[in-house]
Structure 1
Amino acid sequence: MALEIDDVGVVAGGRAILAKVSARIEPGAMVAVIGPNGAGKSTLVKAISGERRPAFGRVRLHGHDVSALAPADLAMQRAVLPQATTIAFPFTVFEIVGLGLRQRAGMDAAARRQEVQRALGAVDLEGFGERLYQRLSGGEQQRVQLARVLCQIGEPVKDGRAKLLILDEPTSSLDVRHQIAVLSIARRFADDGGIVVAVLHDLNLAMSFADRLMVLEGGRLVADQEPEELLEGGLLAETFGTRMVILRPPGWARPAVLPDFPRLHHGRSGEAADISQ
């Protein structure tokens, strides 16, 4: 039982924006999707989630075509944190997070409240339940949406089947501490038997948390490898159009990746500025 992406392609405006992407992701794995802007990362996760039907190819979760599953059934097997969520009405944080429980039957009011509080605690928002969602910062709103998603998906495995957690740029509005906290939640979900697919822009976060990196460029999958394997060639520099420096600090479990910043120059003297301090 796995997530299978079989020759998936998406067409928009007569142009292929995703072309023949194939991969198989087993339970217990966390995969990061990386690539430059416009590479097709969000399009891929929309196809994986069932939000967008591919023009060709299929996405199967445990053998079932996600495009053919009823929305209620799909909502119990996979949950999606989108890039952005707009809420026009003055809902409280508690009400927003509680929306994730709509598909989980058999819970009384006390159990639902406890589940919402547990999810808010997991994203470091204890005591935020009565606050209005619109009055929160962008990062706080992002964590509220993650709490909603956690309420929806529940345990990573049910009846022997891994559930799928999809995160589209989950760290875009977060400070460093909360970036690490959010991806640690995703990592634990995978370690406990679930499947995680996350779109990430920060290469170091992707390297640190994911088991595999799927690299997209121009709508095509150009690499699908473990982080260490991917660093052995010059693919990252070629894909992102910038030189990369690989650092291997003593004691670090995985290497760090930095762009090779050009030295700054003084306007008059032309001497290179020392920016290493």
Structure 2
Amino acid sequence: MPVTLDRVEVVLGARRILGPLSLSLLPGSLTVVVGPNGAGKSTLVRAISGERPATGGSVRHDGADVAAMPAARLAGLRAVLPQASTVAFPFTVYEIVSLGLRMRAGLSPAGRRRAVAAALAAVDLEDFGARLYPELSGGEQQRVQLARVLCQVGDAVGEAGPKLLILDEPTASLDVRHQLDVLSIAKDFAEAGGVALAVLHDLNLAAGFADRMLVLDRGRLAADDAPDRVLSSGVLTQVFGVAMTVLSPQGWPRPAILPDLSACRSAPRG
């Protein structure tokens, strides 16, 4: 098992914001994390990636403790797309994406150019290499950052075994078509033998793409199951505090979920 969490918890001051939580992430599977704001989703991502060391318990990649792993080795095992990335200088798109290749030794200049071109094509930005990053829209910038992450992680399986791709709210600033494209990339990575983890707010995208759904609530694991069983269990209504109806449209391979719009209230007029 390449990624295992053993009673992981994160405590800030006197407040436990995650855990204790134990689970394993398996190759060949796309795991999607959902939950309300403040549920601990991004904290979980940072703990798994090694960005924020766990206060208690351990995170292991293929048996090795992340907390004791050199940064260079960790960078070769996993890549992370954060919620937002700030770039203060007018780098070109090509320069931003090529940063993902810094830890991949042995690539020739031509090989580097091919890797960047392939990553940009994967995110539908083939002709953007010479564009200045700050001049792009928010959605385009997010896709450039994904291309950088794809350059860093490379193949889903390396010499050391399956790699880990982590996407933290990757669809937040994207249009519908590119939301589907990004999640298809994560799905393809998993199907190629890698480990893929994504944090999503859109429950229907989660249900449509996930092999496994984790539902977090106040730092604890409220559900861990296949999407159809999570949707039909009623746990999402409990966690989000909104009544939801599960739909099974004809011809759809997976169910969908619709919140009870009658519970919405119009804002008072001034």
TM range (shorter): over 0.9
State the match for 1:191 in structure 2. Answer: 191
Q: In the TM superposition, what is the alpha-carbon distance from 1:232 to its structure 2 partner?
A: 2.5
- Whole-Å Cα distance in 2 between the matches of residues 182 and 64 of structure 1? 29
1:133 aligns with 2:129: no
User: Judging changes above 3 Å, is the alpha-carbon distance between structure 1 residues 265 and 124 closer, same or farther for their aligned structure 2 residues?
Assistant: closer
How do 1:75-224 and structure 2 match up within 5 A?
A: 75-159=75-159, 161-224=161-224
State the match for 2:67 in structure 1. Answer: 67
State the match for 1:272 in structure 2. Answer: none
Give the AA of the match of 2:235.
L
Give the AA of the match of 2:155.
E
Bigger CA drift: 198-207 or 106-115? 106-115
Give the AA of the match of 2:65.
D
| Identical aligned residues as a percent | 61
Q: In the TM superposition, what is the alpha-carbon distance from 1:180 to its structure 2 partner?
A: 0.1
Q: In the TM superposition, what is the alpha-carbon distance from 1:265 to its structure 2 partner?
A: 9.5
- Whole-Å Cα distance in 2 between the matches of residues 249 and 209 of structure 1? 16
User: Judging changes above 3 Å, is the alpha-carbon distance between structure 1 residues 128 and 57 closer, same or farther for their aligned structure 2 residues?
Assistant: same
Q: CA RMSD in A?
A: 1.3
Q: In the TM superposition, what is the alpha-carbon distance from 1:25 to its structure 2 partner?
A: 1.4
Larger C-alpha radius of gyration, 1 or 2?
1
Secondary structure of the structure 1 residue equivalent to 2:262: coil
Give the AA of the match of 2:181.
A
State the match for 2:38 in structure 1. Answer: 38
State the match for 1:55 in structure 2. Answer: 55
TM-score of the superposed pair, with normalisation by structure 1 = 0.94
Q: Any idea what the Cα deviations from partners look like across 1:81-110, whole Å, max 9, x if unmatched?
A: 000000001100000000000000111211
Give the AA of the match of 1:111.
G
- Whole-Å Cα distance in 1 between the matches of residues 234 and 11 of structure 2? 30
- Whole-Å Cα distance in 2 between the matches of residues 199 and 250 of structure 1? 28
Structure 2: runs of 5+ lacking an equivalent: none
User: Judging changes above 3 Å, is the alpha-carbon distance between structure 1 residues 155 and 264 closer, same or farther for their aligned structure 2 residues?
Assistant: closer
Secondary structure of the structure 2 residue equivalent to 1:179: helix
Q: Any idea what the Cα deviations from partners look like across 1:188-215, whole Å, max 9, x if unmatched?
A: 0000000011000000110111111110
1:19 aligns with 2:15: no
State the match for 1:29 in structure 2. Answer: 29
Q: Any idea what the Cα deviations from partners look like across 1:124-164, whole Å, max 9, x if unmatched?
A: 00110010000000000000000000000000001261000
- Whole-Å Cα distance in 1 between the matches of residues 263 and 82 of structure 2? 37
Secondary structure of the structure 2 residue equivalent to 1:262: helix
Q: In the TM superposition, what is the alpha-carbon distance from 1:26 to its structure 2 partner?
A: 1.2
Tell me the matched-pair count: 266
Task: State whether residues 232 and 246 of structure 2, in contact with CA within 8 Å, keep that contact through their aligned partners in structure 1.
Answer: no
- Whole-Å Cα distance in 1 between the matches of residues 62 and 216 of structure 2? 24
Secondary structure of the structure 2 residue equivalent to 1:73: helix
- Whole-Å Cα distance in 2 between the matches of residues 42 and 75 of structure 1? 19
- Whole-Å Cα distance in 2 between the matches of residues 104 and 265 of structure 1? 53
Q: Any idea what the Cα deviations from partners look like across 1:246-277, whole Å, max 9, x if unmatched?
A: 110011000011101118899xxxxxxxxxxx
